[in-house]
Amino acid sequence: MINLKWLDIYGNLNSLSVEIGNLIQLERLSIRQNQLTSLPVEIGNLTNLETMNLSNNQISSLPAEIWKLTNLQNVDLSCNELSSIPEGIGNLTQLTILNLAENQLHSLPSEIGKLANLFTLNLSSNRLSNLPPETGKLKDLRRLYLSKNHLTIIPSEIKNLYSLEELDLSHNQLSLLPAKMGNMNWLWHLNLSNNQLKRLFPEIGNMEQLSTLDLSNNQLSRLPTKIENLTNLEELNLSNNPLSDSEKERIIDLLPDCDITF
């Protein structure tokens, strides 16, 4: 067992033995869909671990020793009861995928900005009301999921996420977006549905790679003329917005090749 490299435990486990720390050759650990509420500190011995899936448990806190696992590349902690993420997350600089969806997170530590190799960050279905400005340091980030939080504002530093391709901000409380989001010109999927947006920044016209844009269930009565620059846009959802008939006609004229839903 000591040379085991892959361990998958699925079922009704409600505690993890301290002997897990003896599996020092382990590279992949999956203990998903169990009833764990905590982890033993001995998990910090698994320094060869690259993938860790602890999703669908009842974990409310993480031992400090977990931040010693600096070879981790893929971490799934979704569907737990975490209310905070300690500063030690910044030690996991090899992470490319981090899934923290469906927890009870109210905030993120600024150290999240140290995860320079992160490609995918899923924070959907939490209780976040804001993001640290350091989020803008994640220069290699491709996918950022923030749906179903309590966000009222997005830091302007998000403009620095030049590599971002997918951004989901749906089901929040956003009434305004930073104009500098227009710098994110590699974005191809943007979901802003179910917010409180009354206007859209003109710089959205700079997002020339956009393929799908969801603005449904907002308070938009007009779109900026520069939206006509989105020549790659294939799908635009504007349903449940207070758009007049004349504005709808105007939008159709601006985007004649786009499939628009009103």
Residue 243: inside a domain: yes
Whether 237 maps to a domain, the answer reads yes
Domain assignment present for 244: yes
Nearest CA to 118 among 96, 100, 135, 137?
A: 96
Percent of the chain whose predicted confidence (pLDDT) is above 90: 97
Q: Beta strands 74-76 and 97-99: pairing type? A: parallel
The structural domain count of the chain equals 1
Q: Any long-range contacts for 216-219 (C-beta under 8 Å, 24+ apart)?
A: 216/240, 216/241, 216/261, 217/193, 217/241, 218/192, 218/193, 218/194
Whole-number Å distance between alpha carbons of 156 and 48: 37
Alpha-carbon distance 33 to 55, whole Å?
6
Range of the domain at 246: 185-262
Q: Which pLDDT does position 116 carry in this prediction? A: 96
Q: How far is CA 137 from CA 6, 97, 114, 208, 234, in A?
A: 33, 16, 7, 23, 30
Which amino acid does the sequence have at 192? L
Summarised one tens digit per residue, pLDDT across range 17-26 is: 999 999 999 9
pLDDT confidence of 12, banded at 50, 70, 90?
confident
Distance of alpha carbon 43 from alpha carbon 22, whole angstroms: 9
Residue 106, in any domain of the structure? no
* Band (11; pLDDT cuts 50, 70, 90): confident
Three state DSSP letters for 96-114: CEEECCCCCCCCCCHHHHH
Which pLDDT score is estimated for 13? 92
pLDDT at position 232? 97
- Work out the pLDDT band at 2, boundaries 50, 70, 90: confident
CATH of the domain at 208: 3.80.10.10
Could you report the per-residue pLDDT of 66-125, keeping only the tens digit for each?
Answer: 999 999 999 999 999 999 999 999 999 999 999 999 999 999 999 999 999 999 999 999
In a domain, residue 211? The reply is: yes
The answer as to whether 102 is a domain residue is: no
The answer to whether position 166 is within a domain reads no
Tell me: the pLDDT tens digits for 110-122? 999 999 999 999 9
204, part of any domain:
yes
